[in-house]
Amino acid sequence: MLNKAQGTSSPAGAELVAQLRDIVGHPHILTEDGATLPYRRGFRFGEGRALAVVMPGSLVEQWRVLQACVKAGVIVIMQAANTGLTGGSTPDGNSYDRDIVIVHSMRMRKIHLIGGGKQVVCLPGATLDQLENMLKPIGREPHSVIGSSCIGASVFGGVSNNSGGALVRRGPAYTDMALFAQVSATGELQLVNHLGIELGSDPEEILRRAEQGEFPDSSINWQAGRGHDDDYATHVRDVDADTPARYNADLRRLHEGAGCAGKLGLFAVRLDTFEAEKNPVVFYIGTNGTDVLEDVRRHILSSFSELPIAGEYLHRDAFNIAEKYGKDTFVIIRLIGTKRLPALFAMKNAFDRLAGRLGFLPKHFSDRCMQLLSHFFPQHLPARMRDFRDRFEHHLMLKVSASGAQEAREFLQSHFATHEGDFFECTPDEGSKAFLHRFAAAGAAIRYRDIHTDTTENIVALDVALRRNDRNWFEVLPQDIEDEIIVKLYYGHFLCHVMHQDYVVRKGYDCMALEHRMLPLLDRRGARYPAEHNFGHLYSAPDDVLAHYRQLDPCNCFNPGIGQATKRRNWVAESVG
């Protein structure tokens, strides 16, 4: 069946495509090169071939698609919004031993509230933004807010990759409860209902009921399992532990759908929701001493009676780059909110594809236009934040609940009476802007690269979990590595010791070689990586994680090659040379 040319297939491949077309309908299967490219190319990394992209419109259709693919012996890559940063939901090159079918699930966007909204059951195409907006009227929140939701990321993407987020008490996305398809060692496709909801015994009956939300109270087992990592708030407080608080290779948080990295065919996940905080207070902290911030972190985690909501770090260089190259993102969100941002990202991507086909427009044309327009926007950052930027190298935004504000206020007053640095209590508008500026920093390096293509090679982006007891948390690079970098952007979830480190590499230097020189430095510090973006095709997964993937997918037919494992059927080792 294998044929490397896009848009063509062997007779067996053509037969499978015809079967899939009968299942989902002609408009919902793509085979031509140009049409499949947005699904074969990752958001930031990765691209490969595919026999077809198929878009089921119901859970039953997805089940029938998987049945046909498994029977035909092809590889299945389950894909939702395709917003991952490590290429984990797209093919990787052309070195596969079977044809690939990408099952794109974004037509199935239903979310069902259960228990008065204290829990939700999400289907494959449900997005974080959709979930956030559904919960807002009832005063509740999902696991993560203003992060990947703004680019249209899916709920399944977060769960499948144990994605983290900025909210300290909630830990990485996790659930014990899922409805999924799994292929046995003998090649048999099985439907497994571990949602904790009685839905019958026939697979298609189960799936129809799940899709329609037919969940009478008598069918729901409220002791079926955890809908989030309810131990994390205790775990993160152990500031003397010699291990990171959260990272993708942590076996404690790998269970069936949670952390499956696409090695299962997920149909539904059941998750906890959280009561929304009312009138939170934000403190903006600045210092030139990394030890000062670490003392703040250790005291907060070990001594505060109530954990903060979030504690976000931003280095001065990241502040400056985000101020200039994240300004349009900041202004757009302030003007229209996050609800319409996924649609704007989709429009931008469609425009970029059109511009690429036209040929005469410069590369990254939309980014260049947005950057030019941003020069005409008024100053968007509060004066007190800009003053702290001038005075201090290291910045921490601490968000606490109204009930915890006085404890935080008294500690910061006492601490900075005897330590270098300062803080101020934000107005609600300043607090909103501070956290939005921190969010804008996440895309600033990409914009900088796209605008300065003549001087930049690319970006090395590391997603690092530091040990909870690591006092020397701020990275110091050898000079030979520094010489190859234009600017470094350090930002992250400081209380969890999870750091995002983006390096804009000078033109002419090998980014992959540079990254390989950096990783041993992290190893010597006892850091783990990736922290929350998962392995994809960029990182090598450790043996115990690969063993977990093999247990989930013994035939290696779902998303092979993840964690730089073999792409071959039944996990057969790939030949060298």
Annotated binding residues, as ranges? 80-84, 88-89, 147, 154, 164, 261, 266
- Please tell me the distance from the alpha carbon of residue 303 to that of residue 305, in angstroms, as a whole number: 6
- Please tell me the distance from the alpha carbon of residue 106 to that of residue 39, in angstroms, as a whole number: 12
- Please tell me the distance from the alpha carbon of residue 376 to that of residue 472, in angstroms, as a whole number: 41
- Neighbouring residues of 246: CB distance < 8 A, sequence distance ≥ 6: 162, 164, 171, 172, 232, 236, 253, 465, 496, 498, 531, 532
| Nearest CA among 467, 248, 499, 529 for reference residue 396 | 499
| Count of CA atoms in the C-beta half-sphere (13 A) of 35 | 13
Binding site listing for FAD: 80-84, 88-89, 147, 154, 164, 261, 266
- Please tell me the distance from the alpha carbon of residue 167 to that of residue 229, in angstroms, as a whole number: 12
Query: Which residues, in sequence order, are bridge partners of residue 265?
Result: 181
| Count of CB atoms situated within 10 Å of the CB of 318 | 28
- Please tell me the distance from the alpha carbon of residue 433 to that of residue 431, in angstroms, as a whole number: 5
| CB distance 307 to 400 below 8 Å | no
| Count of CB atoms situated within 10 Å of the CB of 329 | 24
| CB distance 90 to 40 below 8 Å | yes
| CB distance 120 to 273 below 8 Å | yes
Looking at residue 237, the DSSP 8-state letter turns out to be T
- Tell me whether residue 296 is exposed, middle or buried, using C-beta atoms within 10 angstroms of its C-beta: 0 to 12, 13 to 18, 19 or more: buried
Both tokens of residue 304? 């505060």
- Please tell me the distance from the alpha carbon of residue 312 to that of residue 374, in angstroms, as a whole number: 25
- Please tell me the distance from the alpha carbon of residue 503 to that of residue 194, in angstroms, as a whole number: 42
- Please tell me the distance from the alpha carbon of residue 323 to that of residue 376, in angstroms, as a whole number: 14
The strand pair at 100-104 and 75-79 is best described as parallel
Strand order in the sheet with 111-114: 111-114, 119-122, 265-272, 178-183, 189-194
Looking at residue 149, the DSSP 8-state letter turns out to be G
Name the strand (E) or helix (H) holding 548.
helix 543-552
Both tokens of residue 445? 């390096």
| CB distance 146 to 435 below 8 Å | yes
Buried/exposed code over 159-198 (b: 16+ C-beta within 10 A; e: otherwise):
bbbbbbbbbbbbbbbbbbbbbbbbbeeeeebebbbbbbbe
Residue count of the chain: 577
